[in-house]
Amino acid sequence: MEEISKQIENAIKEAIRLEINGRNFFNHAADMTHNELGKKMFQKLAAEEVKHIEVFSQLFTEVLKEADWKKYVRDEELKGESPLIEKLKERMKGAEGKSETQALSIGMELEENAVQFFQKAADEVDDPAASEIFRKISEEEKFHYDLLQAQHDSLTNSGFWLDSAEFQMDGKY
């Protein structure tokens, strides 16, 4: 067994906690969503959070060269919902009829936080294998964000913004 650095141990604990909380939120959003396609999307996102936890399990096993990595992560550290998830659920309750668009906005916020967390972890850990896995997870979280953004744009009929003007406001072409 190799010793794991405190840095990687803490990063993986936080990553697991983030994924568990994300799964809990997306399951809650699926329960509150009335549209079947929206419900399926949130359920798929919740399932992908579980896949990420499996990736972290593999990472821990690779880094430690043993399967008994769970001794580094106490169950009580991961149990219960984070205050953030509770706060986000409360925001959804207060949305009165807009819970689906609110869920998308909150999901985007969660994914944006996840992208930043995993990118920072990838930049800061010393182990190249851990860094690469954090980078890959960051890219998946970016994809999740883009998916939620597209759904939000569709529901709110906001479409896409152009990055440059195709005409001038002064009437000149």
Quote the pLDDT of residue 94. 61
Q: What is the pLDDT of residues 4-63, one digit of tens each?
A: 677 777 777 777 788 888 888 888 888 888 888 888 888 988 998 888 888 777 776 776
Residue located via tokens 């990118």: 119
In 3D space, the residue among 161, 122, 153 whose CA is nearest the CA of residue 139 turns out to be 122
Looking at domain 6-156, what is its CATH homologous superfamily?
Ferritin, core subunit, four-helix bundle (1.20.1260.10)
Distance CA 136, CA 119 (A): 9
Q: How many whole angstroms separate alpha carbon 99 and alpha carbon 22?
A: 17
Torsion of CA 37, 38, 44, 45, to 10 degrees: 160
pLDDT at position 43, please? Answer: 92
Other CB atoms within a 10 A radius of the CB of residue 2 amount to 10
Q: What is the pLDDT of residues 57-83, one digit of tens each?
A: 777 677 666 666 566 565 555 566 666
Distant-in-sequence contacts of 74-78, Cβ < 8 A, 24+ apart: 77/13, 77/17, 78/13, 78/16, 78/17, 78/20
Rounded to 10 degrees, the C-alpha dihedral 29/44/107/82 comes to 70
Least confident of 40-44, 81-85, 86-90, 134-138: 81-85
pLDDT of residue 1: 41
d(CA 17, CA 95): 26
Q: Three-state DSSP class for 1?
A: coil
Amino acid at 120: K
Question: What are the phi and psi torsion angles at 55 (to 5°)?
Answer: -65, -45
Residues 125 and 11: beta-carbon distance below 8 Å: yes
Please state, in angstroms and rounded to a whole number, the distance separating the CA atoms of residues 63 and 43. 31
Token match 């309750």: residue?
93
pLDDT at 150 over 60: yes
Per-residue pLDDT reduced to its tens digit, 155-166: 887 765 545 555
Helix (H, G, I), strand (E, B) or coil at 125: coil
Q: Please tell me the predicted confidence (pLDDT) of residue 71.
A: 61
Q: What is the pLDDT of residues 97-120, one digit of tens each?
A: 566 788 888 888 888 988 998 899
